[in-house]
Amino acid sequence: QYMANVAMKVNLKGAGINHTTQGVANWMGDTLVLGADVTHPGSSALAGSPSITAMVGSMEASGGRFTGNMQMQQAKTEINFDVQTLVLPLLRRWCQLHNKWPSNVLYYRDGVSISQYDDIVQKELPGIRKAFTELAKQAKRSVPDFKLTAVIVTKRHSTRFFPTKEQDAMASNQNTRPGTLVDGVVTHPYYTDFYLQSHNAIKGTARPAHYFVLRNEMAITTEELEDLTHQLCHTYVRATLGVSYASPAYYADRLCERGRCYLRPFYN
C-alpha cells in the first residue's frame, strides 16, 4: 500500500492520470466540475486572521486531474462573496484544454449548514455565471449558454445506518458496505437529497455523506446524480479505494489545509 501511494503521487507529478471509473467521461466530457470549501481560524489564532476559501475545477473527462486556487476573505465568513475571481481561471483553463465552452457546470459545495443554503443560491451561484460573462467579454464573444447544478456536501451530521441482515454487513466491523445509498424515508420530503456511504470505514461506525441538491438545471435524474457522485468518490487521485465524499469537495478541503499551512504563524 505504501509503494502504491508513492507511485500514485509520482505519476501525478508527471501529469499522469492514476485511474478513472467506467462512464464518468460520458458526463465530464462537456461538464466543468467544481468543488469549493472555506476554512476558518481557530480560537488560538491571532485577532484578525482571515478565513481561506478554495475552489477546484476538473481539467479533463476522466476525473483524474483537477486544478485549484484559493484566496483569503473576512474571518469567520462561510459564504464566498468573490466566486467569480476563483472560477474565472478554472473556466479559462478548461476552455483552453477542451477548445470549447462547457455545456454544464456541476458545483459541489462543502461545509455549509442548512441555514446558509439560500445564501449559496443568492450569492455564490451568480458568481459562477459572472465568470462566464467575464471570460466571454475578454474573448469578445457572446455569453455561452450553460446549465448549472449545485450540490451541498455535508459530512458533520448524526445520521448513521446499520445493516438489517448479517450477510449485508462488512465482516470486519459490521458496517454497511461501500456504495450504500439511502434516498428515502429519512430524507427531505420536498427536496432532492440522499445519503451515500462510498468508503469502507476502517474503524468505528461508518458515517455517510449527505448530499442536498440546491439547483438542477442539468435536469439530471436523482439516480444519475447518485451514480456520478459515487463514481467521483472513486476518482480521488491519492487513494486506491473510494473516499468518504465526492472528490471535488475533497480536493477543495485539502486545498484549504494547504492554505492553513501558509498562514500557520497567524493560525497558531
- Averaged pLDDT, 8-21: 86
pLDDT in tens, 120-137: 999 999 999 999 999 999
- What is the model's pLDDT at position 46? 92
- What is the model's pLDDT at position 193? 94
Which pLDDT band holds residue 116 (cuts at 50, 70, 90)?
A: very high
pLDDT in tens, 46-98: 998 999 999 999 998 888 889 999 999 999 999 988 999 999 999 999 999 99
CA–CA separation, 40 and 53 (whole Å): 9
Residue 150: inside a domain: yes
Which pLDDT band holds residue 1 (cuts at 50, 70, 90)?
A: confident
Half-sphere exposure (Cβ direction) of 85: Cα atoms closer than 13 Å: 9
Residue 122: inside a domain: yes
Please provide the average confidence, as pLDDT, over all residues in the chain.
91
Residue 242: inside a domain: yes
pLDDT in tens, 163-190: 888 777 777 777 888 888 999 888 998 8
Beta strands (DSSP E) in the chain are 31-39, 51-58, 66-73, 104-110, 147-154, 180-182, 193-197, 209-216
Please give the model's pTM, rounded to 2 decimal places: 0.94
What CATH number is attached to the domain comprising 127? 3.30.420.10
Tell which wins on pLDDT, 249 or 162.
Answer: 249
Cα 156–158–160 angle (5° rounding)? 110
Please give the residue range of the domain that contains residue 182.
2-158+170-267
Nearest to 126 by CA among 38, 214, 227, 248: 214
Residue 163: inside a domain: no
Residues 29/59, Cβ–Cβ less than 8 Å: no
Does residue 201 surpass a pLDDT of 90? Answer: no
Residue 164: inside a domain: no
Instruction: Please state which of the ranges 5-14, 80-89, 160-169, 250-259 shows the lowest mean pLDDT.
Output: 160-169
Residue 165: inside a domain: no
% of the chain exceeding 70 in pLDDT: 100
Residue 23, burial from CB neighbour count under 10 angstroms (0-12, 13-18, 19+): exposed
Residues 119/152, Cβ–Cβ less than 8 Å: no
Residue 103: inside a domain: yes
Place of cell 467521483: 232
- What is the model's pLDDT at position 20? 86
What string of DSSP letters covers 199-253?
S--SSS----EEEEEEEETT---HHHHHHHHHHHHT--TT-SS--SS-HHHHHHH
Residues 225/31, Cβ–Cβ less than 8 Å: no
Does residue 240 surpass a pLDDT of 90? Answer: no
Residue 241: inside a domain: yes
Give the chain's domain count. 1
